[in-house]
A and B are shown apart, each in its own frame.
Chain A
Amino acid sequence: GQNIDQPTEMTATEGAIVQINCTYQTSGFNGLFWYQQHAGEAPTFLSYNVLDGLEEKGRFSSFLSRSKGYSYLLLKELQMKDSASYLCAVKLTGGGNKLTFGTGTQLKVEL
Chain B
Amino acid sequence: DGGITQSPKYLFRKEGQNVTLSCEQNLNHDAMYWYRQDPGQGLRLIYYSQIVNDFQKGDIAEGYSVSREKKESFPLTVTSAQKNPTAFYLCASSVQGGMETQYFGPGTRLLVL
Give the interface of A toward B (CB within 8 A).
Answer: 4, 8, 31, 33, 40-45, 48, 50, 87, 89, 95-104
Contacts and interface: CB of A to CB of B under 8 A. Distances in A.
B45 A104 contact: no
Interface in B23-73: 31, 33, 35, 40-45, 48, 50, 56, 58
A74 B30 CA distance: 32
A44 B40 CA distance: 17
Contact of A102 (B42, B96, B101): B42
A48 B90 contact: no
Interface of B: 31, 33, 35, 40-45, 48, 50, 56, 58, 88, 90, 94-97, 99-107, 109
A103 B41 contact: yes
A101 B37 CA distance: 10
A40 B88 CA distance: 8
Given A42-B90, A96-B48, A104-B42, A33 B101 contact: yes
Majority secondary structure, A binding face: loop
A4 B59 CA distance: 15
Given A43-B90, A87-B42, A97 B105 contact: no
A44 B104 CA distance: 7
A42 B101 contact: no
A48 B94 CA distance: 14
A78 to B, nearest CB: 22
B56 to A, nearest CB: 8
Given A4-B42, A99-B102, 17 more contacts: A40-B88, A42-B104, A42-B105, A43-B104, A45-B102, A48-B99, A48-B101, A50-B99, A96-B50, A96-B56, A97-B31, A97-B95, A98-B45, A99-B45, A101-B35, A101-B42, A104-B41
